[in-house]
Amino acid sequence: METRSQAVSDRSYDRKMAGKSLSEACREKGLRMTRQRQVIVDLLENSREHLDAPTLLREARRRVPAIDKTTVYRTIKRLRKLGLIDELDLLHMGEHDGHFYEPLPEKMHLHIVCMQCGKVEDMQPETWAEMEREVETKRGYSIEMARVEIGGYCPECRRARSGS
């Protein structure tokens, strides 16, 4: 059984890579870029949405029909271990395992998730910098990652729920 510290240590975050293109960060980490890996990296890097593994596999197969499910999952795992992508739960709204992936952002942010349609928006509130300062200066922590998820209903789903 995995301990809490093992689970946390398995999730590496390389803040030096945040804000760089995922392709550039992969090169700097010495990751050999096969055609299949490059397709996966391109999808993660260029998507306007947070992708879960089944969606990533489906989109990758549109570009490389022979790509294997195992290749997608191993690439995700490798990118996570190198600290180049973040794994998000996003209120477990995904098709299967409820995990979504995104390249490490340049700035930390929170995610707002519609609990009806699954729409996800990134947000960096003005108070975020103040919170970071408090954690670092008053509490003495060095922030490596932060994750906040807010669940609610987007404007469209709110209208549909209220019947107007």
Domain ranges of the chain: 1-106, 108-164
Q: What is the DSSP letter of 115?
A: T
Cα–Cα distance for residue pair 141/134, rounded to 1 Å: 9
**What is the rounded average pLDDT of the residues 120-124?**
85
pLDDT of residue 15: 56
User: Within 13 Å of residue 81, how many CA atoms lie on the same side as its CB?
Assistant: 8
- The pLDDT of residue 137 is 94
Q: Which residue has the higher pLDDT, 127 or 94?
A: 127
Give the predicted TM-score (pTM) of the model. 0.71
Are 86 and 13 within 8 A, CB to CB?
A: yes
For the 108-164 domain, the top CATH level (class) is alpha beta
CATH number of 1-106: 1.10.10.10
Under a CB-based contact definition with an 8 Å cutoff, are residues 102 and 50 in contact? yes
Q: What is the DSSP pairing of strand 110-114 with strand 149-152?
A: parallel
